[in-house]
């Protein structure tokens, strides 16, 4: 009987050791799987990049409208630069010095230089905007000149009862320049459209 008891205790001890060994083996295998997974995520090959977003479908009527507006407003703007070159000294004296004093007092950049800069902007930038080459900088240059034109007209004639007054000339003196400025701001923020040399960038 004592021999049987000792044999039973030995069997139970061996079983316990076998159980512990089995649990250790399973834990080791689980740890190996975790390490392999972490290695694949961290030190392995990088995950492939996501596929590029699909390009929006071409809105042909909208892009044609943008093209017509862009080319049309650029063509209408061009003569303003030519007009300044007809009498740059007069423009510098009566417009820049007379109504834009913050430009007239800029040290080495004289009113006459400002006049030539404005003329250059109104001759070069319309070409860039019409073609869609450097369209946003071109739109910024033109919006700046037209913003100054709005300031000039308001300084000269005031708001003329804007927005409800019916004026003698059927439009406010600053109206055309204001419309130009708003259109150029639109192109500045939205780009030239896809029917352009730059493809809308």
pLDDT digits (tens, 9 = 90+) for 139-176: 999 999 999 999 999 999 999 999 999 998 899 999 99
Same domain, 69 and 164: yes
Which range marks the domain in which residue 173 is found? 60-190
Q: Cα-flanking dihedrals φ and ψ of residue 70, to 5°?
A: -65, -50
* Residue 197 falls inside a structural domain: no
d(CA 89, CA 106): 17
* Residue 143 falls inside a structural domain: yes
Residues in the chain: 201
What per-residue confidence (pLDDT) applies to 34? 56
Return the higher-pLDDT residue of 3 and 185: 185
Q: Cα-flanking dihedrals φ and ψ of residue 40, to 5°?
A: -65, -35
Instruction: Report the domain count for the chain.
Output: 2
Same domain, 31 and 67: no
Same domain, 84 and 145: yes
pLDDT tens per residue across span 62-111: 999 999 999 999 999 999 999 999 999 999 999 999 999 899 877 789 99
Same domain, 11 and 69: no
Tokens coding 143: 């919006």
Same domain, 98 and 126: yes
* Residue 201 falls inside a structural domain: no
Would you place residue 39 in the very low, low, confident or very high pLDDT band (cuts 50, 70, 90)? very low
Asked if 197 and 131 touch (Cβ cutoff 8 Å), the reply is yes
Same domain, 29 and 92: no
What per-residue confidence (pLDDT) applies to 142? 98
* Residue 195 falls inside a structural domain: no
* Residue 200 falls inside a structural domain: no
């Amino acid at each position: 009987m004592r021999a049987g008891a000792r044999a039973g205790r030995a069997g139970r001890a061996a079983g316990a050791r076998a159980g512990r060994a089995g649990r250790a083996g399973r834990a080791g295998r689980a740890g190996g799987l975790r390490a392999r997974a972490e290695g694949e995520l961290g030190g392995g090959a990088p995950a492939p990049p996501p596929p590029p977003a699909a390009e929006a479908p071409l809105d042909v009527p909208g892009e044609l409208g943008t093209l017509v507006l862009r080319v049309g407003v650029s063509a209408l703007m061009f003569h303003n630069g030519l007009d300044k070159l007809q009498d740059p000294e007069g423009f510098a004296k009566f417009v820049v010095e007379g109504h834009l004093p913050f430009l007239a007092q800029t040290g080495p950049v004289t009113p006459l230089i400002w006049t030539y800069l404005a003329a250059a902007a109104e001759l070069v930038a319309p070409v860039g905007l019409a073609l869609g080459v450097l369209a946003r900088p071109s739109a910024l240059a033109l919006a700046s000149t037209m913003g100054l034109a709005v300031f000039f007209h308001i300084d000269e004639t005031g708001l003329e009862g804007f927005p409800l007054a019916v004026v003698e000339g059927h439009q406010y003196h600053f109206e055309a320049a204001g419309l130009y400025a708003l259109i150029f701001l639109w192109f500045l923020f939205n780009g030239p459209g896809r029917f352009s040399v730059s493809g809308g960038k």
